[in-house]
Amino acid sequence: MRIVVAMSGGVDSSVVAGLLHEQGHEVIGVTLQLYDHGAAIRKKGACCAGQDIHDARDVADRLGFAHYVIDAEQRFRDAVIQPFADSYAAGETPVPCISCNQSVKFTDLVKLSADLGAERLATGHYVRRTDTGGGAELHRAVDVARDQSWFLFATTQAQLDRCLFPLGDYPTKADVRAEAARFGLEVAAKPDSQDICFVPQGSYARVVGNLRPDAMLAGDIVTASGEVVGRHAGIANYTIGQAKRLGTAQVAGGRRVVVGLEAATMRVVVDTAPPGATTLALRDVNWLGPRGAMRCLVKLRSGEVAHAASVRVEGAEVFVDLDTPARAAPGQACVFYDGTRVLGGGFIRARVIDGGA
């Protein structure tokens, strides 16, 4: 069948293209130009860079299938970078990779694959998709260390039905690299991408400050009772739960952490680390299975151990009651799991019901 493969230029998506091409499918490689590399960053290892486009083209040329570069710069700015900066400036802890998957990758590329008459969109994500007859299911990757299912919880059922994730069954990354070597691809030894692709040297504050100068204005660091205990150089430098960069506001033993970021007054609120939240309110919930109240496991970060929890639906509101308190920051995702299967999830609202951070 005709399959569009989203190619970043890295080893994973290159192997996906190679495998599908080898299986006799008509592969169409597509690489998204997400930002002007020259004007943005010069950083090796970050994904979607200029060299990566050339690497993706080389793979397509070598293996012998069509490849196109899509100009998604404006769309990426509007759907990913600006909301990231706005969310950060509002004191949240956004996850731009999820908004990128939600918009540029799965919404736009699924539409593009349909426009090009392709039956499927394949990506190099480490997740498994299984067909059960009642619609596709999304599962954790076999390689737990590589698993990216947390980042894909917002993929809609309709999108999932059209997708392929051939790498989800590979036991280790070394096996994927071995496939790349078998195809004779130069990217076989290419380093993994690490950071958020559009953030140079991990400096979120600079990216946010460029788009939202208001988030780089100096202000007070205060305690929960309102006592001024220090100064800061912009709330973009802080996220909920952070213990660093508090200066004079920090106390012996580093026991104070950021518990609140007040965009309107530009105040950073600190307190001794709270025990964590037990109830989370979610927004923009996506369901990938049975909807409604359930007992399940949830993850508030991709790499963490899952927490036992109950999902509660009250009218249009969705709440999660954690069995034991956990650190939660507004803007982050709360993803529901049943064993390996992703059942959906949502973004944590600024209004965390109890326990603060």
Catalytic residues: 100, 197
Tokens of 288: 């990938």
Q: Does 219 bind another protein (CB under 8 A)?
A: no
Q: How far is the CB of 68 from another protein (least distance, A)?
A: 5
Q: How far is the CB of 30 from another protein (least distance, A)?
A: 8
Which one of 15-23, 69-77, 224-232, 235-243 is the stretch in contact with another protein (CB under 8 A)? 69-77
Q: Does 62 bind another protein (CB under 8 A)?
A: no
CB 158 within 8 A of CB 40: no
**Is 65 or 336 the residue whose CB approaches another protein more closely?**
65
Q: How far is the CB of 5 from another protein (least distance, A)?
A: 14
Nearest alpha carbon to residue 306 among 327, 335, 343, 276? 335
**Is residue 174 within a helix (H) or strand (E), and if so which, with residue range?**
helix 173-182
Q: Does 119 bind another protein (CB under 8 A)?
A: no
Choice from 22, 42, 71, 224 touching another protein (CB under 8 A): 71
Burial of 283 by CB count in 10 Å (0-12 exposed, 13-18 middle, 19+ buried)?
middle
Q: Does 61 bind another protein (CB under 8 A)?
A: no
Q: Does 48 bind another protein (CB under 8 A)?
A: no
Tokens of 245: 């960069």
Q: Does 33 bind another protein (CB under 8 A)?
A: yes
Q: Does 53 bind another protein (CB under 8 A)?
A: yes
Angstrom CA distances, 197 to 34, 45, 126, 168, stand at 9, 9, 18, 22
**Is 108 or 214 the residue whose CB approaches another protein more closely?**
108
Q: Does 144 bind another protein (CB under 8 A)?
A: no
CA dist., res. 59 & res. 279, Å (int): 48
Task: State the Cα torsion 44-17-161-116 to the nearest 10°.
Answer: 100
| Contact residues: another protein, CB under 8 A | 2, 28, 33, 50, 53-54, 57, 66-71, 111-112, 114-117
